[in-house]
Amino acid sequence: MTNLQAAFNDPQTLVAFTVAGDPNIDKSIEYVVAMANAGADVIELGIPFSDPIADGPVIQKAGLRAFDAGIDTDKIFAMVSEIRQQTDVPLVFLSYLNKLFDYGYDAFFTECENRGVSGVVIPDLSFEERGELEGAAQAHNVAIIPLVAPTSGHRIAKIVAGSTGFIYLVSSLGITGVRDDNQMSADLNQLVTEIKKYTDAPVAVGFGIHTEQQVTQMNQIADGAIIGSGIVKLIEEDPENATDKIVAYVKAIKA
């Protein structure tokens, strides 16, 4: 069992997302460390991208703020090193494929291993393209975290095969964002059952989850829940004073 998989042993497992460098590097580091200290089990750091097809408006705006502050991939790796001096919480990246391609796959995963990043979620990575990355990722002990959507159907077995991190289960189609409970996909339970036929890796549900009740519900169905827009919205509303609000938010969910 990897450190990433071990993080899902809590009955109320929370994967907390924030955009790296939003609103600036120092504040971003502060938020990540605060979330870890408040009880987040895994931190997912978004690498800003110019054309984020899977991101809702809240996360898109966060990416723009990070770009305005001068963020780039090298600075994000430096950020991770600073975070690692303060917490050993498992870290994963969320990045679009082009960012890895531009950096160089082997160079990217080398940095992940050296800095202490356990996995990468790549929303626009197709199953057919995954083979190109897997060799480099495995050589550096970095998990490629697959996404399973309600439309994955008969391809689920191939998508989740050999997973060494966790499975990111998309709760509903479309872009990320805060959704009402009644909009959640009704067949999540069935999907988790199907996924578990082919892998022992934990399943975390994301997209549109933001309340304590939803996190509890997702932990009953799967092994964890991913919250993104809810945290990023707190940063957007009051970046200078967001830390205390983020801590309260995470603690309420983990209570």
Residue 204 bridge partners (DSSP) = 168, 224
What is the per-residue pLDDT across 192-248, written as a single tens digit (0 to 9) for each? 999 999 999 999 999 888 889 989 999 999 999 999 899 999 999 999 999 999 999
Tokens 């042993």 locate to 9
What is the per-residue pLDDT across 124-136, written as a single tens digit (0 to 9) for each? 998 888 988 999 9
Residue 217: CB atoms within 10 A of its CB come to 17
Confidence of residue 63 (pLDDT cuts 50, 70, 90): very high
- Alpha helices for 55-161 (secondary structure H): 57-68, 73-84, 97-103, 105-115, 130-139, 156-160
Determine what percent of the chain is predicted with pLDDT higher than 90: 78
Q: Which amino acid is at 103?
A: Y
Confidence of residue 72 (pLDDT cuts 50, 70, 90): very high
Judge whether 57 and 177 are in contact, CB under 8 Å. yes
Question: Strand, coil or helix: what is 197?
Answer: coil
Residues 96, 121: Cα–Cα separation, whole Å: 8
Q: Which secondary-structure segment (H or E) carries 204?
A: strand 203-206
- Active-site positions read 44, 55
pLDDT reading at 180 higher than 60: no
CATH number of the 3-254 domain: 3.20.20.70
pLDDT at 179: 58
pLDDT at 5: 93
Cα separation values, 70 from 48, 76, 131, 152, Å: 11, 11, 32, 37
What's the number of CA atoms in the CB half-sphere (13 Å) around residue 39?
Answer: 15
Residue 119 bridge partners (DSSP) = 92, 143
pLDDT at 2: 82
pLDDT at 189: 87
Tokens of 227: 């919250």
Tokens of 14: 């929370």
Residues 39, 1: Cα–Cα separation, whole Å: 21
Domain ranges of the chain: 3-254
What is the per-residue pLDDT across 28-48, written as a single tens digit (0 to 9) for each? 999 999 999 999 999 999 999
Sequential DSSP letters for 136-165: HHHHTT-EEE-EE-TT-GGGHHHHHTT-SS
Q: Which secondary-structure segment (H or E) carries 218?
A: helix 212-221
Going by DSSP bridges, is the β-strand pair 224-227/119-121 parallel, antiparallel, or unpaired? unpaired
